[in-house]
Amino acid sequence: MLEMRLDPKKGIVVEEEESLERLGNDFFGDPEGKGIVLTPEEAIYIIAFRNGVVLDQNGKELSINRLSSHFLKDNPRLFIRYIAYRDWRDRGLIIRRMNENVQGKHEKKNYKKYPSQKIKYAKVKSSAYWHSESLFSIIDDDSEGRKLFEDYWFGQYGVYKQERGRIHKMNFFETLFLSKNCGMVVIDAKTGKKTTHAKIMKEIMAKREYAKELYEVYEEWRMKGYVVKTGFKFGSHFRIYFPGASPVKSDKWIHSKHVLHVFPKDQKLLISEWSRAVRVAHGVKKTFILAIPKMKKNDYVDYPGDFMAYRRTKGNGVWVRETPKDKPRYMLVAVSEDDHIGGVDLASMLKKSKDTGLILLLSITDRETSITYYELKKILLPDSKYEYYEIEWFKP
């Protein structure tokens, strides 16, 4: 039996010699004096899986609930943290409370660089008719509509994935972009009069939440040569094609490999809803990109990580687990499916992980205590004004 003791000043301590040796060999606790001090997560794990007991000052055994009650005031999310801790430990891996003074091993590896190319779009010579109630526009000129679709993949000419029909329809992002950047004249279909980019934007903003942020992200990727189309089928705002993609340059239909979701900094989403969009993308083998627009220096908050996590490394032909003698790999943040997460929260987590040389892992526990992990890495899009991140399902 592993014996632990609750000290009102120090916390949960281990001083009994045999217990010290067994726990120290498996990297539990931090040294203090002649013993070690454990976190509540460690103590609960030892009680549940290592035949441990915690005694109070009178030598009476404490239940898990009585023990946790001493820490819930300062650590109200104790059991969300514990479940993440337990899952990592159950995999035979080491996990420790976050220590910002410990530098991780990924100072230069927690980002991905995306290609970018300058592109010049031809001036649009024909007018588009704006249908404000439906938030799309139509070009009557058959040759101009076909050119926009085939050369730059703006709008949809004819029927999707079918070579029939002559109507060229553009969504509101494409209409705004071409009117602003390519001189396209836009006519209000109801009045027959010219309208402006600003007026169209105002109409869209009255109907579509975060329309301005969505458009600005759309415009940035388009200006860097990417093709940006709707991501509706995949539970996201956009699907992304790398520069050079065209709907008519191949015998086979081109499939996007990336979807992009815009997460405004002041928006908060239920974790289960956020995770659902990521899962849909991964289910169709697409990389999920998250955009957090308009983050400013004073928007970031000091969002603490929960744990530093270690993995395994290959040495002399065999896999061995890393220990605190090695540099940690991940900053692990524990959340539950019923939590809400905001754009500022995520951006702040990512900044903290970057500053400490760690890769960010979100550990999401469901109501049955099963864990799903997501790894987040920053995207370097040259000369970008915004924050972009890849999110991938992760298995320890």
Catalytic center residues:
241, 255, 286
Q: The dihedral of CA 210, 215, 216, 222: what is its sign?
A: positive
CA angle 79, 66, 333 (to 5 degrees): 15
- Residue that has been written with the tokens 């959340």 in this structure: 335
- Strands 52-55 and 95-97: what pairing? unpaired
- In contact, 52 and 4? CB cutoff 8 Å: yes
The amino acid at residue 179 is S
Length of the chain: 396
Q: Residue 229 has which token pair?
A: 């189309």
Would you say 388 and 291 are in contact if contact means Cβ atoms under 8 Å apart?
A: yes
Whether the CB-CB separation of 357 and 101 falls below 8 Å is answered with no
Which residues have C-beta within 8 Å of that of residue 332, sequence separation ≥ 6? 84, 88, 95, 305, 306, 307, 308, 309, 361, 363
Please, are residues 111 and 377 in contact by the beta-carbon 8 Å criterion?
yes
For residue 34, give both structure tokens: 């002649």
Task: Give the C-alpha separation, 155 to 183, whole Å.
Answer: 16
Long-range contacts from 65-68, C-beta under 8 angstroms, 24+ separation: 67/6, 67/12, 67/40, 67/43, 68/40, 68/44
Taking the C-alpha atoms of residue 15 and residue 6, their distance in angstroms, rounded to an integer, is: 11
Instruction: Read off the tokens for 185.
Output: 């004249």
Q: Which residues contact 377 (CB under 8 A, 6 or more apart)?
A: 110, 111, 112, 359, 360, 389, 390, 392
CA distances from 75 to 69, 122, 337, 385 (A): 10, 59, 19, 37
- Token pair belonging to 231: 């991501």
Q: Looking at this protein, which amino acid is placed at residue 292? A: I
Side-chain half-sphere CA neighbours of 348 within 13 A: 16
